[in-house]
Copies of this chain bind each other. A is one copy, B any other.
Amino acid sequence: MRTTDATPVSTVTTGPIEGSSKRYEAVTGAEHLRYPVRRVHLSNGEHFDLYDTSGPYTDADAEIDVEAGLKRARDEWNRPEPIDGAATQLVWARAGIVTDEIAYVAAREGLEPEFVREEVAAGRAVIPANHRHPESEPMIIGKAFAVKVNANIGNSAVTSSVEEEVEKMVWAARWGADTLMDLSTGRNIHETREWILRNAPIPVGTVPIYQALEKVNGDPAKLTWEIYRDTVIEQAEQGVDYMTVHAGVLLRYVPLTAKRVTGIVSRGGSIMAAWCLAHHTESFLYTHFVELCEIFRKYDITFSLGDGLRPGSIADANDEAQFAELRTLGELTKIAKSHGVQVMIEGPGHVPMHKIAENVRLEEELCEEAPFYTLGPLATDIAPAYDHITSAIGASIIAQAGTAMLCYVTPKEHLGLPNRDDVKIGVITYKIAAHSADLAKQHPRAQERDDALSRARFEFRWNDQFALSLDPDTAREYHDETLPAEPAKTAHFCSMCGPKFCSMRISADVREYAAKNGLDSVDAIEAGMAEKSEEFARMGSSVYLPVRAI
């Protein structure tokens, strides 16, 4: 498997996330399948189960051998026969088949398999699962499901190594990345990807044009369909689950970017623009698109139709170039689906808040509601070093409007490549955006976690608050900066107000008082309170008032 001279990966992060343990639950109706759950153990004896993306790395008895790769579990799953040459979740779902992958993602999402099958059959959701990536734990991307998060990693000619990239993948999955894109552009592209795929419990995406460009020594004009096709097949054989293809960058769209403030900012888009101009020929990705479909349908690779002309600044948002390309992506969506290939659509970029909804509306109209997969968008250009935040604002809004997966942005966006810490910050920030959108969409299970954490907060169960949070380690660390002592973890106060006065405790007292006196509406209060006032004053003196309650 590994013909590489790259240094072997020595260690990756393993072990459970604080306050929780990893479990595997049987899939109802398909008991040979077991899906992962992270169980948070609460101090009141209850527990709270969370969707888990982290793979076997967080198992209590994890025995990870990155040289050998993860267990190829999906090799043992049932796989239906191809239909008219296509072996994809799309054609099977259309044929009414509930595949093992569908049963598995339904269990993970807490939904009925038949509902999942319908969404996949309609092309409103995709399950990126290359048959040659049997190490992956299938997941689903679609607006009817929890919003997903993608993490980009990858070395460049300037920086980073294979080991770093594999650890970044494990680390991203640990903190909640649902998929991973390997965007390497430097040396050892093939080997880096091989290490990542064999150890990735989450689907892996790539942009094959990057590797194709390496093969022609970085000169876009020298690219050919044949070089590109061979690169796609090479990556397909390795198990890449979805591929970004910038087939919507047509020759006639390129000059539409000339008057932009920031021109073409997509690497893939600019490679294809340079190629089209150099040859004055239509993009080979567009003219050979059906041949690509024929490759993708064999492996069940999902198209991620790239937005090569996405805006790179607020000034360029929603312009003619961007939407011209989106219309072409709509055409290509129909072609891909007619060949049985799963499709999602990539989106911007940089968009001010008031122009975000239009992107989703148009995408759904033009692309038959194929899952939208956006990069942010950044709601302003003026905060390099904080673009995880500028983009989380846009990401939350676009996800609320219907985007199915968000590509994270790290604090290093526009400035450098993310290191391991940046990857974690990017993932957590995007889990916030995705979850905020799930809440706003009133996704059935979303608010349960907020309520569990808020109850823990209200009841001063500090350890439970940490364990239920997206990043228990950092929450604990920040708390301990001011109140490090272990008794403070159960103290009925915190460092914000100090022990003498605490609003949370006062309102706990209010609750107890109201419950005892049946005061739960304005009417009840007006009727009942007068007679209770003396009693309250007594209770208040001995129980409620904070100074004395310590």
Q: Which residues of A contact B (CB under 8 A)?
A: 156-159, 185-186, 213, 217-221, 251-267, 269-271, 273-274, 277-280, 312-315, 320, 324, 350, 352-354, 379-386, 388-390, 392-393, 396-397, 400, 411-412, 414-417, 419, 428-429, 431-433, 435-437, 439-442, 447, 449-451, 453-455, 457-458, 465-466, 468-471, 474-475, 477-479, 481-483, 494-501, 503-504, 506-511, 513-515, 517, 519-522, 524-526, 529-530, 532-534, 536-537, 540-541, 544-548
Contacts and interface: CB of A to CB of B under 8 A. Distances in A.
Given A185-B498, A264-B510, A466-B384, A447 B314 contact: yes
A202 to B, nearest CB: 21
Nearest to A511: B258
Contacts of A265: 503-504, 507
Contacts of A411: 478
A280 to B, nearest CB: 3
B506 A270 contact: yes
A222 to B, nearest CB: 9
Given A400-B353, A432-B380, A522-B252, A416 B267 contact: no
9 contacts: A186-B498, A255-B514, A278-B540, A314-B450, A315-B447, A315-B450, A383-B432, A385-B474, A414-B496
A496 to B, nearest CB: 6
A205 B337 CA distance: 60
A290 to B, nearest CB: 24
A143 B253 CA distance: 40
Given A218-B546, A258-B513, A415-B478, 13 more contacts: A158-B495, A219-B546, A255-B517, A255-B525, A258-B514, A269-B503, A271-B501, A315-B450, A354-B440, A380-B435, A414-B496, A416-B495, A417-B496
A545 B276 CA distance: 12
Contact of A475 (B384, B482, B537): B384
A440 B478 contact: no
A386 B470 contact: yes
B353 A529 contact: no
B525 A482 contact: no
Contacts of A454: 261-262, 312-315, 350, 381
A478 B385 contact: yes
Nearest to A316: B454
B156 A520 contact: no
B352 A440 contact: yes
Contact of A382 (B468, B503, B526, B532): B468
A213 to B, nearest CB: 7
A267 B380 contact: no
B529 A251 contact: yes
Given A383-B469, A412-B478, A266 B440 contact: no
A427 to B, nearest CB: 11
A532 to B, nearest CB: 8
A442 to B, nearest CB: 7
Contacts of A278: 536-537, 540-541, 544-545
A263 B507 contact: yes
A450 B380 contact: yes
A522 to B, nearest CB: 6
Contacts of A260: 507, 511
A389 B392 contact: yes
A438 B75 CA distance: 53
B263 A353 contact: no
A157 B482 CA distance: 12
A279 B538 CA distance: 10
A396 B450 contact: no
